[in-house]
A = this chain, B = another copy of it.
Amino acid sequence: MTDKKERILDAALTLFAREGYAATPTSKIAKVAGVSEGLIFRHFENKQGLLDALMQKVELKLAGIYGPVLMETDPRLALKKCIELPFLVPESEFDFWRLQFMLKWQKEYNHPEKMQALIDKLTQVFRELDHENPEGEAMLVNLILEAVATSILKGNMSQDDEIRYFLLGKYGL
C-alpha cells in the first residue's frame, strides 16, 4: 500500500470517527491527508468504498483481540482475559473502535453475531465454573464489556482502573 493511500485511510478514519461518516466531505479527507481530491477516487471506488476499506480490518482486529481469550483453556483465566479486554485497547486505536461502535447504530453495520464466538466461550467458561445459568452469565458479561468499551471510547470513564479491579473482584479473579 502506497504512502498516500495509507494517509487517505488514516485521515478518513480520524474524520469519520470524530465527525461522522455522512458529515465528512471527501475534500476534507484529501486536505487532512495532504493529497489531491481526485486521488481518493483512484484508490477507492467511491466514498463508500473508503469506508468499506476501513471496516474490512475489523474482522482481523477482532480475531486478534478475541483469539487469546478463545484459546485460553483455563476458565478463570479466560474470564479474566475477557474482562480485561476493553481496558487493553491502546489509545491509538480509539478512532477505529469509535467508528465501529458509531456505525453499529446503522442497521447495515450492526452484526451482533460477531460476538457469538465470545459469548459461546463465556458460556462454556461459566458452565465449567458450575454457574447455575451459564448462558445468562455469559450474556451479562458480554453486555458489561460492550458498556465498558463504549464508556471508555466516549471518554466518560475517569476511573478505568477502579472499574477494572472491581469487576475482577466481583468475579473472584
Interface residue A31 (Cβ < 8 Å from any Cβ of B):
no
Chain A interface, >50% SS class:
helix
Stretch of A64-72, A120-128, A149-157 contacting B (4+ beta carbons < 8 Å): A149-157
Distance A105 CA – B155 CA, assembled complex (angstroms): 10
Chain B contacts for A98, CB-based, 8 A = 105
Besides A20-B106, A143-B144, A146-B151, 20 more A-B contacts (Cβ < 8 Å) are A20-B22, A22-B23, A102-B102, A104-B154, A110-B154, A112-B151, A112-B156, A133-B166, A133-B169, A136-B162, A136-B163, A136-B166, A136-B170, A139-B166, A140-B166, A140-B170, A143-B148, A144-B147, A146-B147, A147-B147
Which residues of A line the B interface, CB within 8 A?
Answer: 20, 22-23, 98, 101-102, 104-106, 110, 112, 133, 136, 139-140, 143-144, 146-148, 150-151, 154-156, 162-163, 166-167, 169-170
